[in-house]
Structure 1
């Protein structure tokens, strides 16, 4: 039998494959910290809401994962998400290295690393290819993602 934290990572990504953001969020501790090149510092419920937003907006989505490793404190995985970026209709294949920290059977820190320039080249086309490396473009990508998450969270709070 594999380590319980290996099973936790697998449960997280299997839920992601089904776009089951509630199960994904349930894998997180209440005070989880999430970061990636776009969402640089999400904490607590904001991290789960990011997955809820992404799952709700997913188009032509598929996900694979491999190289899952974990011990009592830390873990890692490699995953690939393929989807249509809704703002441009362009297909993105994003290759991501994930690192995790665990406490009491939950993920308390989740850091994803990927090449933002490569992502921008796929998602934004020529503009992303030519300017995706530039700090102003990266800031714009982050700002737009942050605003989208804020709008999603506001709408969700109004429904609840």
Structure 2
């Protein structure tokens, strides 16, 4: 097994345990992250995002499969099931992850998933009717970014 594939498996094994420090240890110190909700995050934001998500996860389970990696790039599919805290609704999110490696660690991490499908589950009827709209998408993004900034603020 390629060492980068082992790194992907280490990352998702830690994620399944809600072990944010274990996840973060897989990242290069200059990592960048992108997904449809948080969009572009720098290394400090990435670490805070995973810490916040692991800390707040309710009824969380994770499965990953098809982890593949070579010298420079890798990918896998992961499925997270959890209760969305803002609404108390159950969500099952199917995600495709793509990675770029540098110096034996993940330097770029990009997750892709259907944001409308997610919003239908997380937001219910409102997500079903308007989850595809820029208004709802931007509201979800703004809320996620605000939560992350609050989490990162000195206490």
Same fold (TM over 0.5): yes
Shift of 1:45: 1.4
Q: What residue number does 1:75 align with?
A: 74
Structure-to-structure mapping, 1:78-93, within 5 angstroms: 78-93=77-92
* TM-score in terms of structure 1 length: 0.96
Aligned length: 155
Task: Give the superposed CA RMSD.
Answer: 0.5
Which consecutive residues of structure 1, in runs of 5 or more, have no partner in the other structure? Answer: none
What is the DSSP-based 3-state SS (H/G/I as helix, E as strand, rest coil) of the residue aligned with 1:59?
A: coil
Q: What residue number does 1:151 align with?
A: 150
Q: What residue number does 1:22 align with?
A: 21
Kindly report structure 1 stretches of 4+ aligned residues shifted beyond 4 Å.
Answer: none
Shift of 1:13: 0.1
Shift of 1:36: 0.3
Structure-to-structure mapping, 1:25-104, within 5 angstroms: 25-104=24-103
Shift of 1:48: 1.2
**2 CA distance for matches of 1:50 and 1:56?**
10
What is the DSSP-based 3-state SS (H/G/I as helix, E as strand, rest coil) of the residue aligned with 1:41?
A: strand
Shift of 1:16: 0.2
